A and B are shown apart, each in its own frame.
Chain A
Amino acid sequence: MTSAQETRTTQNAVPPIPPAKKKFELAYALRSNVVPLFFLVICVIGAYYSGLSLPFLLNEIVVRMARNSFLVISLIIPILAGMGLNFGIVLGAMAGQFAYFATVNWQIAGLWGFTLTCLLSFPLAVFFGWLTGKLFNSAKGKEMITGIILGFFANGVYQLINLYFMGNLIPIRVPEMLIPGGYGLRNTVDLKIMHYALDNLWKVRISIPGSIMPIVVPVVTLAVIALLCVGMHFLFKTKLGQEFRATGQNRHIAEVSGIQVDKIRILAIIFSTVLAAWGQIIFLQNIGNMNTYGAHVQVGTFAVAAILIGGASVSKATIGQALMGTLLFHTMFIVSPLAGKNLLGNVQVGEYFRVFVTYGVIGVALALHAWQGKAKRKT
Chain B
Amino acid sequence: MAAYRLEMRDIQKEYFGNRVLKGVSIRVEPGKIYSIVGENGAGKSTLMNILFGMPVIHNTGGFSGEILMDGNPVRISSPQDAVDLGIGMVHQEFMLLPGFSIAENIKLNREITFPNMVSRLFGSRLQSLDIPAMRRDSRKALDRLGLSTLDEMLPVAGLPVGYMQFVEIAREIDKEKTKILVLDEPTAVLTESEAEVLLATMRRLAGEGISILFITHRLDEVLAVSEDITVLRDGEQVATLKTGEASVSRLAELMVGRKLEAVGCDACAPSPKGDKTLLKIEDLRVDMPGERVRGLDLDVYEGEILGVGGLAGHGKIGIANGVLGMYPAEGKLILDGKELPLNNALEALRSGMAFVSEDRRGVGLLLDESIETNMTVTAMQCQEKFLRRMGISLADGGAIRRHALKMIRDLDIRCTGPEQIVRRLSGGNQQKVCIAKAITLEPRLIFVSEPTRGIDVGAKKIVLDLLVRLNREMGVTVVITSSELAELRSICDRIAIIYNGKLEGVLPPDASDVDFGLLMAGEMSHSRKEAS
Contact = CB atoms under 8 A, between A and B. Distances in A.
Interface in B274-318: 289-290, 311-314
A115 to B, nearest CB: 19
Interface string A243-266: 101100110111111111000000
Contacts of A246: 97, 100, 108-109
Contacts of B312: 13-15
Contact of B99 (A243, A249, A254, A260): A249
Nearest to B123: A240
B420 to A, nearest CB: 18
B109 A7 contact: no
Interface string A1-35: 01111111111011111011000000000000000
B324 to A, nearest CB: 13
B99 A17 contact: no
**Chain B interface: which size bin?**
35 or more
Given A256-B91, A258-B79, A378-B366, A242 B151 contact: no
B166 A14 contact: yes
Nearest to A378: B366
B366 A11 contact: no
B92 to A, nearest CB: 12
Say whether chain A's binding surface is mostly helix, strand, loop, or mixed. helix
Interface stretch (B126-134, B411-419, B447-455): B126-134
Contact of B311 (A8, A17, A245): A8
Contacts of A11: 193, 311, 520-521
Contact of A239 (B125, B193, B367, B518): B125
**Chain A interface: which size bin?**
35 or more
A7 B312 CA distance: 13
A7 B314 CA distance: 15
Nearest to B108: A257
A253 B193 contact: no
Interface stretch (B111-119, B258-266, B456-464): B111-119
B247 interface: no
B127 A239 contact: yes
Contact of A17 (B98, B129, B151): B151
B35 to A, nearest CB: 22
B178 to A, nearest CB: 13
A238 B129 contact: yes
Contacts of A242: 104, 108, 111, 129
Given A4-B516, A11-B521, A19-B151, A253 B96 contact: yes
B55 A17 contact: no
Given A14-B147, A242-B111, A256 B54 contact: yes
A6 B521 CA distance: 10
Given A240-B126, A258-B109, A4 B485 contact: yes
A239 B129 contact: yes
Interface in B171-230: 192-194, 196-197
Nearest to A252: B55
Contacts of B163: 14, 17
Contacts of B159: 17
Nearest to A1: B513
B192 A249 contact: no
B270 interface: no
B527 interface: no
B80 interface: yes
Given A238-B119, A238-B125, A14 B109 contact: no
B146 A13 contact: yes
Interface in A362-379: 377-379
A14 B99 CA distance: 23
B149 A17 contact: yes
Interface in A271-312: none
B162 interface: yes
A255 B97 CA distance: 12
B154 interface: yes
8 contacts: A11-B311, A16-B149, A17-B154, A17-B163, A241-B129, A245-B99, A257-B109, A258-B80
Interface of A: 2-11, 13-17, 19-20, 234-235, 237-243, 245-246, 249-250, 252-260, 377-379
